[in-house]
Chains A and B, each alone.
Chain A
Amino acid sequence: MVTIDTHSIADEGVYELSVHGEIDASSSIYLETALKEAMQQSKKILIDMSELEYISSAGLGVFMSILQDLENEEIQMVLFNMSEKVIDVFEILGLNLLMNIQPSKEEALAELK
């Protein structure tokens, strides 16, 4: 099961999501819904992945499916604080190279300036 908390960082115009738990074929729909909402709310999306314990292709697929829209709509999305085992999964297929993934929130915010 996955839970996703959202809030805006008003001064920066940034919409932040914090993903907790596990994203698999049963729960990826929640990630998709939260990302679509974020894309409607802001052009700057920050995703805290520190509490994400597991991601399968269903979760990776959700990220891949919005990349084109992010580009078309000029929306910046930065992921940060991924655990080693989660970033490993992105790296197996080289998907980490298609996304902006930063080690810390400070570095992620700096990307959105």
Chain B
Amino acid sequence: MTHQFKTSCKREKLKDIRHFLTEVLNDIGLSEKESNKVVLAVDEVCANLMIHSNKDNPNENLEVYVQDEGDKIKFEIVDHGEAFDYTHYKEPAIDDIVMSKRRGGLGIMLVKKIMDQVEFKCEKSRNVCCMTKNIDKKK
């Protein structure tokens, strides 16, 4: 079964996305601890897409799809903004972030640590971020 949620590219909507995800992951049977991390990873991608790909344009939309596949959960986040070039993404060092007093750069690092697979695809006029989390439903 696929669960879906559509919202506009406004940062204030991130809370609604997290609420939707928390309910779905709870129904799937993820522990609260695991759920919080997975929600964080999806929140990070959505925030990046809203801010960087769609320039906080409230007229643009973001769609989030969640599919329970038993031993794993698949997430797809679809938007129509500027594509994120993940192939050229270079992970910054934490020390560099601290030294340069940067606020950004930690989001994608968290996503990579939390999710088992991360892929950004560009399909015609839409961008799709696909993420997979392998799960153990034992609480």
Q: Is the interface of B mostly helix, strand, loop or mixed?
A: helix
B93-119 toward A: CB 8 Å interface, digit per residue (1/0)? 010011101111111011001100000
**Does B36 make an interface contact (CB < 8 A)?**
yes
Q: Is the CB of A98 within 8 A of B37?
A: no
Which interface class (under 10, 10 to 19, 20 to 34, 35 or more) fits A? Answer: 20 to 34
Shortest Cβ gap from B95 to chain A (Å): 9
Docked CA distance A57–B42 (Å): 12
Chain A neighbourhood of B12, CB < 8 A: 26
Q: Is the CB of A85 within 8 A of B33?
A: yes
Q: Which of A59-98 contact B (CB under 8 A)?
A: 60-62, 64-69, 84-85, 88-89, 92-95, 98
Q: Is the CB of B33 within 8 A of A92?
A: no
Q: Is the CB of B32 within 8 A of A22?
A: no
**Does B30 make an interface contact (CB < 8 A)?**
no
Docked CA distance A71–B36 (Å): 32
Chain A neighbourhood of B106, CB < 8 A: 57, 60-61, 64, 93
Docked CA distance A106–B44 (Å): 34
**Does A54 make an interface contact (CB < 8 A)?**
yes
Chain B neighbourhood of A39, CB < 8 A: none
A1-30 toward B: CB 8 Å interface, digit per residue (1/0)? 100000000000000000000101110100
Q: Is the CB of B102 within 8 A of A64?
A: yes
Shortest Cβ gap from A94 to chain B (Å): 7
Chain A neighbourhood of B114, CB < 8 A: 92
Chain B positions within 8 Å of A, measured between CB atoms, are 11-12, 14-15, 18, 32-33, 36-37, 40, 43-44, 47, 50-51, 94, 97-99, 101-107, 109-110, 113-114
30 A-B residue contacts at CB 8 Å? A1-B15, A22-B18, A24-B14, A24-B18, A25-B51, A26-B15, A32-B103, A54-B36, A56-B14, A56-B40, A56-B107, A57-B44, A57-B47, A57-B110, A61-B103, A61-B104, A62-B103, A65-B97, A65-B102, A67-B98, A68-B101, A85-B33, A88-B33, A89-B37, A92-B37, A92-B110, A92-B114, A93-B94, A93-B106, A93-B113
Q: Which 10 residue pairs of A and B lie closest in terms of their CB atoms, listed nearest first?
A: A26-B11, A61-B103, A57-B106, A25-B47, A57-B107, A85-B36, A65-B101, A65-B103, A25-B11, A67-B98
